[in-house]
Chains A and B, each alone.
Chain A
Amino acid sequence: MISELFSVTVLIGILASGIRLATPYLYAAIGETFGQKSGVLNLGVEGQMLLGSFVAFYVALTTGNLWLGLLAAMLVGAIMGLAMAYVTVNLHAQQGISGIGFYLFGLGMSELLFQRFMGTVETVKGFPKLYFPGLSDIPGIGEIFFNQNILVYGAYLLVPLAWFVLNKTTLGLKIRAVGENPDAADSLGVSVARIRYFTIILGGTLSGIAGASLSIALLNVFQQGMTSGLGFIAVALVYFGAWRPVGVLGGALLFSLVNSLQLWIQVLGIPIPSDIAVMMPYVLTILVLVATVSRVRAPSALTKPFERGD
């Protein structure tokens, strides 16, 4: 039975779906990286994803336009980000608590809207797999790398892009400075509030895409609570990745591969209780966080509201 896992077909399947399942992690965690780099912990990612997920699905379902759905999810994520930014930057809220508030809002709101406008689970035809002449037909490699939809490729493109913005642009320099020593940035005329608004809204937008990637690109359904903790894992991935996009990529792949593995274990009927299998990514989260907790230092100003003092 176990040996079935190691057949070439199954391995290709695990890798292909592993690559694909990393998509929502990547969008959400890269967005979160920007926020945390600027000193803001957004625990509301899960809520932003849920709402993004629903809105994308509903708009796609009613208009038949997937891009419109994606855009709507981005907009909803951005608006939630804006609210989060107001609460943390202007009102100096405790970020851990307000983030949970936004999570609960997203959870409840997506459920309410689902009940009100849909009521039953429906499906849409999500973003299609792209076909690369020649490449997609390569055995194995083709299926793993060149047989995915556009949101998957977008997620991977985001990694070098985020690295570039953070490390090679003046904006990135400001974001890093604001997250480490906002007083210093302020004294040099950098607006701490503006930078944080930017990163939180960007994070919300990307969380919206992460949600949309689930409902209109990967699973192509919407169900209540369908993100099932994925947004929280994304927050953990930022720690795991030591606030570096490449690290986040590594973490996202690790989790999605484990997830993919456990899915295949269930599919193949391997006699491991499914509860245990489903638990694997979450247990891994805890183990990884315990192992990495003191490895790198978080941005110094993380979770600290900024107020111009003396």
Chain B
Amino acid sequence: MTEANTLPSGRTRIDSLEMRGITKRFPGVLASDHVDFDVQSGEVHALLGENGAGKSTLMKILYGMYRPDEGQVLLNGQPVTIASPNDSINLGIGMIHQHFMLVPTLTVAENVALGLPSSRGLLTDLDRVSKRILELAAIYGLKIDPDAYVWQLSVGQQQRVEIIKALYRGAALLILDEPTAVLTPQEVDELFVIMHQMVKDGHSLIFISHKLHEVVEISNRVTVLRDGRKIGTRPTSEITKQDLANWMVGREVSFAPDRGNVECGGPRLQLKNVSCGSDRGTPGLRGVSLDVCSGEILGIAGVSGNGQRELAEVISGLRKSTDGQVILEGQEITGLSPAEITDRMLSYIPEERMRDGMIKDFSIAENMILREHEKKPYSRSGFLNLGEISRHADELIAQFHVKTPSRDTMAKNLSGGNIQKVVLAREIFRTPRAIIAAQPTRGLDIGATEYVRDQLLEQRRKGVAVMLISEDLDEILALSDRIAVLYEGRVMDIVPRDEATPARLGLLMAGVHPEEGAPVVK
């Protein structure tokens, strides 16, 4: 073994990995259709595609979670069989899953040791594991405390634990499945530094994402998948974001949605010093004051868990406030029931669309009248007007381009994008005065995302007051007129769109006021 093909972790590097003609059929779906994909030592190869394009299927095949129906995998030119995650781990392939595969109640060292043979036989050897973790952490510049419990760590730190876990198992090739989805901009930068270091040392990285600017920034090559087929592979330097987006969606995509100029009316939805608790019993909101004007989109930025959920629930009446006032069109709605708030024409697009926005086992037609089912024309003296409900459903399905076999299809059988269209249709059709949209595009692909954003902008044009709660900074920046940043239940600052930059918002999201002499990065 020469110095050149050994990684700093001591593991032999993987010079090349090639997937050839990979085909995977699920009942009724061709999830992967003769896809070729390869990655070399020392490169980041981005895998780009919409939801359902086959990225995950391909990677699950590589990681041994699915067996392909056709095709083969070659490692350094030699065919290999990968029948389980254990096989891929033994071959030096590691995967950082989008939803971290960590046990929160265990320590970092315990998480790393889990499933591995111990040097002490039946007994654990956590002291040795910790020592090795610190060695690896030093080599790769990952700060980590082996004795910390995972639940104590930030999301960025948990991701580092995942990376250490893979390195500890000797990963020479790492699959990173949407690793930036949960990170703040600063944490993304830190991750990219780590990725650059790993690539320089000879690791191979596969980077799955649908955020184009990240793909352009970090990858050497990019492969686009659509509908289970490979559209193409190009060196990143030779392709533009616009091309990539068009490849992904299969048609021309507009990036900067046309915001147009809208005259802001007076404040329509106001919060005055609102406080409330959270599910954990800790304060959820601590004295939040905000105005949303008619014809305005107010973006609410922040790292997940800083009061966004509580904010949406307090306004829509799902959560009781402990202090302060919520005012809609000059009338106080604090403490009213959700039904009463609905009657005052406030619409709510909830974050968990499957849990809070839908009844999974109801038909689309039924889901579309959930809010108004007690009102004419959908019901009369307690009896549902089924004819009117069907007509209404057909109208909305056509108007909002919901892809569904019929209005009687169960909501649970729709894709995420179509479910969100049903929710949007229900919430928008009633011509609300204000809309609270919580993470409205999370998990949606580019096409559906574009549609949802256009609809929100359309509402803004109609003079509706829109509050957009999103953890996606790009979305906040693309849609908002003003941006409020939540941190630990407080509004850190409210920044006009023109003055907002990812760096500034990122600092606010981390609880730092740039003005207050905090270390502003470069």
- Chain B associates with chain A: yes
B85 within 8 A of A: yes
Which candidate, A171-179, A219-227, A256-264, is the interface stretch facing chain B?
A: A171-179
Given known pairs A189-B85, A310-B56, the reply for A184 and B123 (CB within 8 Å) is: no
Specify which of B65, B101, B113, B122 is in contact with A181 (CB 8 Å cutoff).
B101
Would you call B85 and A181 a contact (CB within 8 A)? Answer: no
Contact, CB under 8 Å: B114 / A184: yes
Q: Which residue of A lies closest to B117 (CB)?
A: A170
Q: Which B residues, 143 to 191, have Cβ-Cβ distances below 8 Å to chain A? A: 165
Per the bound structure, the CA–CA distance linking A183 and B41 in Å amounts to 29
Kindly list the 5 A-B residue pairs having the minimum CB-CB distance in the complex, ordered from nearest.
Answer: A188-B115, A184-B101, A189-B86, A187-B101, A181-B103
Dominant secondary structure at the A interface: helix
Cβ contact within 8 Å between A188 and B123: no
Q: A263: shortest Cβ distance to chain B, in Å?
A: 39
Instruction: Report whether A169 and B123 are in contact in the complex, using a CB–CB cutoff of 8 Å.
Output: yes
Q: Which residue of B lies closest to A308 (CB)?
A: B65
For B95-138 the 0/1 string (1 means CB < 8 A from A) is 10101111111100011011111100011100000000000000
Q: Is the interface of B mostly helix, strand, loop or mixed?
A: loop
What residues of chain A lie closer than 8 Å to B117, measured between beta carbons?
170
Which of B86, B97, B106, B165 is close to A173, meaning CB atoms less than 8 Å apart? B106
Given contacts A170-B123, A173-B124, A310-B60, 19 further A-B contacts (CB under 8 A): A168-B124, A169-B122, A170-B117, A172-B124, A174-B114, A176-B106, A177-B111, A181-B104, A184-B102, A184-B111, A185-B103, A187-B101, A188-B115, A189-B86, A189-B89, A190-B115, A299-B105, A300-B104, A300-B105
* Complex contacts, B6 vs chain A, CB 8 Å: none
Instruction: Kindly state the separation between the CA atoms of A186 and B114 in the bound complex, as whole angstroms.
Output: 10
| Most B Cβ at <10 Å: residue of A169, A170, A180 | A170
* Contact-residue bracket for chain B: 20 to 34
- Tell me whether A180 and B105 are in contact (CB under 8 A): yes
Task: Tell me the minimal C-beta distance from A37 to chain B in angstroms.
Answer: 11
Q: 8 Å CB contacts to B: which residues of A259-310?
A: 299-300, 308, 310
Residue of B nearest to A167 (CB): B124
A174 contact set on B, CB distance < 8 A: 114-115
Q: How far is the CB of B14 from chain A (nearest CB, A)?
A: 20
B112 to chain A, nearest CB (A): 9
5 CB contacts below 8 A, A to B, read: A180-B105, A181-B102, A188-B116, A299-B105, A300-B104
Residue on A nearest B110 in the bound complex, by CB? A173
B86 contacts A177, C-beta separation under 8 Å: no
* Complex: A168 Cα to B111 Cα, angstroms: 14
Q: How far is the CA of A277 from the CA of B390 in the complex (A)?
A: 64
CB <8 Å contact, A173 and B104 = no
Instruction: Write the B70-99 contact mask toward A (1 if CB under 8 angstroms, else 0).
Output: 000000000000001110010000010101
List residues of chain A with CB within 8 A of the CB of B86: 189
Q: Which of B434-475 contact A (CB under 8 A)?
A: none
Q: Is the CB of B103 within 8 A of A170?
A: no
* A180-200 near B? 1/0 per residue, CB < 8 Å: 110111111110000000000
Contact residues in A for B89 (Cβ distance below 8 Å): 189
Closest to A182 in B: B103
Whether the Cβ atoms of B85 and A188 lie closer than 8 Å is yes
Chain A residues whose CB sits within 8 angstroms of the CB of B84 once the complex forms: 189
**A183 and B101 within 8 A (CB):** yes
Q: Mark B189-208, 1 if CB is under 8 A from A, else 0.
A: 00000000000000000000
* Residues of chain B lying within 8 A (CB to CB) of residue A308: 65
User: Is A171 touching B122 in the complex (CB atoms < 8 A)?
Assistant: yes
Q: How far apart are B37's CB and chain A's nearest CB, in angstroms?
A: 19
Q: Nearest B residue to A301 by beta-carbon distance?
A: B103
Which residue from B85, B95, B114 sits with its C-beta under 8 Å from A177?
A: B114
Chain A, residue nearest B102 (CB): A184
With A170-B124, A177-B106 known as contacts, the answer to whether A188 contacts B118 (CB < 8 A) is no
CB–CB A187/B103 < 8 A: no
Number of A-B contacts (CB under 8 A): 71
Closest CB in chain A relative to B151 CB, distance in Å: 10
Complex: A53 Cα to B89 Cα, angstroms: 47
**Beta-carbon contact of B102 and A170 below 8 Å:** no
Partner of B114, one of A169, A188, A300: A188
Contact present for A185 and B115 (CB under 8 Å): yes
Residues of A within 8 A of B116 (CB): 188
Bound form: Cα–Cα A220–B95 in Å: 58
User: What 1/0 mask marks residues of chain B from 294 to 327 whose CB sits below 8 Å from any chain A CB?
Assistant: 0000000000000000000000000000000000
- Let me know if B114 and A185 touch, CB within 8 A: yes
When chains A and B are docked, how far (Å) is the Cα of A130 from the Cα of B45?
71
Q: Are B124 and A169 in contact (CB under 8 A)?
A: yes
Residues of A within 8 A of B85 (CB): 186-189
Residues from chain A with Cβ under 8 Å of B110 in the complex: 173, 177
A residues near B105, Cβ cutoff 8 Å: 176, 180, 299-300
- Do A190 and B114 touch across chains, with their CB atoms under 8 A apart? yes
Complex: A83 Cα to B165 Cα, angstroms: 36
Contacts of A176 in B (CB 8 A): 103, 105-106
Measured between beta carbons, the chain B residues less than 8 angstroms from A180 are 103-106
The complex places the Cα of A170 from the Cα of B115 at a distance, in Å, of: 8
Of all chain A residues, which has the CB nearest B105? A180
Q: Say which residue of A170, A184, A299, A300 sits within 8 Å of B122 (CB atoms).
A: A170
Closest B residue to A297 by CB, please name it: B105
In the assembled complex, the Cα of A172 lies from the Cα of B114 at a distance in Å of 10
Q: How far is the CA of A170 from the CA of B113 in the complex (A)?
A: 8
Residues of B contacting A169 with CB < 8 Å? 122-124
Provide the bound-state CA to CA distance between A85 and B60, in Å: 29
Q: Are A188 and B101 in contact (CB under 8 A)?
A: yes
Measured CB to CB, the closest approach of chain A to B124, in angstroms, equals 6
- With both chains docked as a complex, state the minimum distance between the C-beta of B240 and any C-beta of chain A, in angstroms: 32
Is the pair B106, A189 in contact by a Cβ cutoff of 8 Å?
A: no
Query: Least Cβ distance of A16 to chain B in Å?
Result: 36
- Residues on B with beta carbons closer than 8 Å to the beta carbon of A183: 99, 101
For B65, list chain A residues within 8 Å (CB).
308
CB distance from B338 to the nearest CB of A (A): 26
Q: Is A187 a contact of B106 with CB atoms below 8 Å?
A: no
User: A139 vs B451: C-alpha distance in the bound complex, in angstroms?
Assistant: 84
B97 touches A187 (CB 8 A): yes
Interface core residue of A169, A177, A299 (most chain B CB under 10 Å): A177
For the complex, give the distance between the alpha carbons of A173 and B113 in Å. 9
Nearest Cβ distance between residue A183 and chain B, in whole angstroms? 6
Q: In whole angstroms, how far apart are the Cα atoms of A299 and B105 in the complex?
A: 9
Are B118 and A177 in touch, CB under 8 angstroms? Answer: no
* A170 touching B118, Cβ below 8 Å: yes
Which chain A residues (134-184) contact chain B, with CB distance < 8 Å?
A: 168-174, 176-177, 180-181, 183-184
* Residues in B whose Cβ lies below 8 Å from that of A177: 103, 106, 110-111, 114
B104 neighbours in A (Cβ, 8 Å): 180-181, 300
Q: How far is B84's CA from A190's CA once the two chains are assembled, in angstroms?
A: 11
User: Separation in Å of the A164 CB from the closest CB of chain B?
Assistant: 9
Bound-state CA distance A201–B89 (Å) is 31
**By the criterion CB–CB under 8 Å, are A184 and B103 in contact?**
yes
Task: Give Cα A265–Cα B115 distance, bound, in whole angstroms.
Answer: 53
Contacts of B56 in A (CB 8 A): 310
Residues on A with C-beta less than 8 A from B122 are: 169-171
Tell me the complex Cα distance, A185–B116, Å: 11
A residues near B103, Cβ cutoff 8 Å = 176-177, 180-181, 184-185
